[in-house]
Amino acid sequence: MELPVRPRRLRTTPLLRKMVRETRMDASSLVYPVFVTEGKNKKEEIHSMPGQYRYSTDRMGEILQELIQAGVSAVMFFGIPQHKDETGSGAYAQDGIVQRALFKAKQDFPQLYLIADLCMCEYTSHGHCGILCGQSVDNDRTLGYLEKIAVSQAQAGADMIAPSDMMDGRVKAIRGALDIHGFQNVPVMAYSVKFASSFYGPFREAAGSAPACGDRKTYQMDYHNRLEALREAALDVEEGADIVMVKPAMAYGDLIREIRQQVRVPVAAYSVSGEYAMVKAASAAGYLDERSIVCEMAASAYRAGTDIYITYFARELAGYMKEGIIG
């Protein structure tokens, strides 16, 4: 048959398929989220996230070491404090849980790049991401607290600050506070396009951060919206964000692509706890093969245009990349 164009021609051998591959991945773009908790000698498995743990600072070295060995060089810290109060004071305490974890990780593993998640919901008694005024979160009052948290994290050794609270104007506020305190070179990775998503369910169990009343819909985005996502990303870049993030990842590939085309800064995508939990549950039940699903999800995020991929599977992915299963 006369058929000059035959797409199958370039699929004939593994070598050729790899040669013409369009999406290439590298472990240097992976970020692994780490949960640190108070106390000693703790490594508690998170019920809804099998294989993920909360570590006390004296044991977090175990996972950090494993990550380094696997080829993952960046981690993002989430603190789980013992004490919570109205203003989330544990979030900016000099000896707060995340500050101690950052300080120790910087000392013990100077080769790791340390990102600090900046949010108040793990630290407030009401579980909201800001200061409550009646039933609602007071945007402008919250900003001052975010500034304090950012500075305390940078002082503790954070290489990068990642605000996930979704208050308006926070990037500008945090940038200003970091600069005044001499942290001009600490980048801000903004959770710019963060949806009010049910995919965060397992994380809230992990961090004990579910809101005591109401939900997060007055600050996190409505998942029906696309133009608003583009506006949020543009606004954060204007305010000085060095990197913008889309979160969750799996159901939001369209926005990763659009934002990658719109902005001129690196884009990150966060494959969240619910994505992890779904893969774990389905593979434990024997419904799908974990390894191939993890690879396919990662490739789809990178193909959509993400530059940085934040995932609980970072360690495994680095291994798959090394083995050449993906990459």
Residues with a catalytic annotation lie at 194, 247
Between CA 236 and CA 255, with CA 129 as vertex, the angle to 5 degrees is 40
Closer CB to ligand PBG, residue 109 or residue 270?
Answer: 270
The residue nearest ligand PBG at its CB is 203
| Binding to ligand PBG in span 1-40, by CB under 6 A | none
Report the residue from 55, 145, 203, 219 that binds ligand PBG according to the rule CB under 6 A.
203
What lies within 8 Å, CB to CB, of 296 at 6+ separation is none
Identity at 233, one-letter amino acid code: A
Considering the rule CB under 6 A, would residue 268 count as an interface residue with ligand PBG?
Answer: no
Residue 117 interacting with ligand PBG (CB under 6 A) = yes
Residue 220: φ, ψ to 5°: -80, 160
Query: Residue 129 CB, nearest distance to ligand PBG (Å)?
Result: 5
Instruction: Return d(Cα 192, Cα 262) in angstroms, integer.
Output: 13
Q: Determine, following the binding rule CB under 6 A, whether residue 200 of this chain makes contact with ligand PBG.
A: yes
Instruction: Spell out where 38-168 has E strands.
Output: 43-45, 53-56, 74-80, 113-118, 132-133, 136-137, 160-163
Binding flags for ligand PBG, 137-176, as an x/- string (CB under 6 A): ---------------------------x------------
DSSP letter for 304, please: H
- Selected range binding ligand PBG among 60-68, 117-125, 176-184, 278-286, rule: CB under 6 A: 117-125
Q: Does position 181 bind ligand PBG by CB under 6 A?
A: no
CA angle 153, 93, 243 (to 5 degrees): 25
Please choose, out of 10-18, 132-140, 146-154, 199-207, the segment that lies near ligand PBG by the rule CB under 6 A.
Answer: 199-207
CA separation for the pair 54, 131 (Å, rounded) = 26
**Closer residue to ligand PBG (CB): 222 or 323:** 222
Per-residue CA distances from 10 to 3, 33, 86, 116, 258 (Å): 14, 38, 61, 44, 28
Q: What tokens does 55 get?
A: 């570590």
Residue 129 in contact with ligand PBG, rule: CB under 6 A: yes
Q: Does 205 bind ligand PBG (CB under 6 A)?
A: no
Which residue stretch of 40-48, 142-150, 198-206, 236-244 sits at the interface with ligand PBG (rule: CB under 6 A)?
198-206
What is the nearest approach in angstroms of ligand PBG to the Cβ of residue 14?
Answer: 34
SS3 state at 136: strand
Torsion angle, alpha carbons of 276, 278, 282, 284, to 10:
50
Residues found near ligand PBG in the complex (CB under 6 A): 117, 119, 121, 129, 164, 200, 203-204, 272-273
